[in-house]
Amino acid sequence: MMLDIPENTRNTLAQLKQLRQSRGMRNKEVADQLGISPSALSKYEEFDRLPKPEMVNKIAEWIAGLDGQPNRVFRKR
């Protein structure tokens, strides 16, 4: 069942997932920084759970805080 998620929230969550993946960050690492469980983060990223407005603001602040930070992509040797 697809949740009815406001477009601005959906865009923020999609950007979160895209940035996390493009920077090679693990789900747990980002979840810890946001103060939520990795399971909650996964559900947000897959649009299976609607975060509270306060969490959407926290995610937007986290995204804004990434500006200017180098990408951290990990490669297997």
Residue 39 located in a structural domain: yes
Residues 22-27: what's their mean pLDDT? 92
- The model's pLDDT over 2-21, given as tens digits with 9 standing for 90+, comes to 678 889 999 999 999 999 99
Which residues are within 8 A (CB) of 11 and not within 5 positions of it... i.e. 6 or more apart?
none
**Considering only CA atoms, which of 17, 68, 69, 21 is closest in space to residue 46?**
17
- Token output for 50: 């609607």
Q: For residue 73, what pLDDT is reported?
A: 47
- The model's pLDDT over 45-54, given as tens digits with 9 standing for 90+, comes to 999 999 999 9
Which structural domain, as residue segments, surrounds residue 50? 8-65
The CATH number that applies at residue 24 is 1.10.260.40
Residue 70 located in a structural domain: no
> How many independent structural domains does the chain possess?
1
How many residues are recorded in the chain?
A: 77
- How many CA atoms, within 13 angstroms, populate the side-chain half-sphere of residue 3? 14
